[in-house]
Amino acid sequence: MTAKQESIQLPTRKKKKIPISHAKTKQQQQLFFGVSGLLFVISLLVVDIDWKQFVTGVEKLPATLSNMMQISTAMLPDYLREMLASLAVALLALIFGLVLSIMTAFLVARNITPSMMLSRIIRFSIMIIRAVPTTVWVLIAVASIGFGYTAGILGLILPTAAYLIRTFAAQIEEVGDDTIEALRSVGACWILIIFKGLLPKLKTIFIATIAFKFEMNVSESVVLGMVGAGGVGMLIQDSIAYYNFGDMTLGILIVFVTMFTIETCTGLLRKKLR
C-alpha cells in the first residue's frame, strides 16, 4: 500500500442513537403516573381535608414536640412490665400460629399437597383471614372474652398462622421440586418426603421467616394494646388520653429501643442463616 493510499480516509458512518427507554415501557410509565395522579385527586375529594384545621395542627406541632421533650420516669417500672407483657403476647401468638402452620403449609404447597382440592380450600380460607385486619380480629376477641392479654393472643394467632402458611407454602414451592421428585422416584411416602427431604432443606429459611414474623408480632402487639389487648400500648393510649406527654414519650422511647434491638437481632440472625 502506497503512502497516498494510506492517507485516504474512508467516509465514517453516522452513528444512530439507541433509544434508552422502550416505547411500551414509556407508555406504561405514563399510564402509571396518570392513574396515580387521578387517584390522588379522588382521594383528596373523598377525604375532604379541612385545610384550615390542617394548618392549625402544623402550627401547634412545635409546641407538642416541646412538651414531649419533658420525659417523666415515674412510670418506668409500669412501662417495662407492660413491654415485657407485649413481648410475651407476641411470642405466644407466634408459637401457637407456628403449630397451626408448620404442617398446614405442606398441605397448601402445590408441589407436595396430597389433594389439590384441599390446597384450594385452605388457600381460600387464608385469603379470608388475611383480608380482615389484625385489629378487627383482636376486637372480635375482646368482644368475646373481654380486655386483656388473652384477647391479644387470640387476636394474633389467626393472622400469624395465615402469614406463615402462605409464606412457608411459597418457599416449599420454590425449593422443593428436585428433592420431591428424587424421593418419589425411590418410593418415599408423603411424610418421609417432608421430614427427610424438605424440612432439613428449608429449616434455615423457615427460621428466618419465623424471626421476621416475631418482629412483626411485637409491633402489632404494641398497637393492638391501644384497642384493649393489654400491654405497653394501653399505657401509651392512657397517657395520650390524659395529655401526659412526659409519660407518653417514655413509652415511645421504650418501644423504640425494644423494636430497634429486636430488628437488629433478627437481622443478624437472617444474615447468619444465609
Q: What are the tens digits of pLDDT across the range 17-69?
A: 555 556 777 788 888 899 999 999 898 888 877 888 888 888 888 887 787 78
**Residues 230, 234, 236: CA angle, nearest 5 degrees:** 150
CA atoms of 169 and 164, how far apart (whole Å): 8
Predicted local confidence at residue 8, as pLDDT: 52
Amino acid 174: pLDDT: 85
Mean pLDDT of 81-91: 92
pLDDT at res. 167: 93
**pLDDT computed for residue 15 by the predictor:** 57
C-alpha cell at 173: 414451592
List the CATH code of the domain at 76-273: 1.10.3720.10
Nearest Cα residue to 164 out of 194, 192, 122: 122
What is the C-alpha separation between 65 and 89, in angstroms, rounded? 31
Taking only the tens place, the pLDDT of each residue in 164-215 is 999 999 998 887 677 788 888 887 788 888 888 888 888 888 998 999 999 9
CB atoms within 10 A of CB 230: 22
Give me the mean pLDDT over the 130-155 stretch.
88
| DSSP states along the chain | --HHHHHPPPPPPPPPPPPSS-HHHHHHHHHHHHHHHHHHHHHHHHHT--HHHHHHHHHHHHHHHHHHTS---TTHHHHHHHHHHHHHHHHHHHHHHHHHHTTHHHHH-TTT-S-HHHHHHHHHHHHHHHHS-HHHHHHHHHHHH-SSHHHHHHHHHHHHHHHHHHHHHHHHHHH-HHHHHHHHHTT--HHHIIIIIIHHHHHHHHHHHHHHHHHHHHHHHHHHGGGTT-SHHHHHHHHHHTT-HHHHHHHHHHHHHHHHHHHHHHHHHHHHH-
Q: How confident is the model over 104-120, as a mean pLDDT?
A: 90
- The domain limits of the chain are 76-273
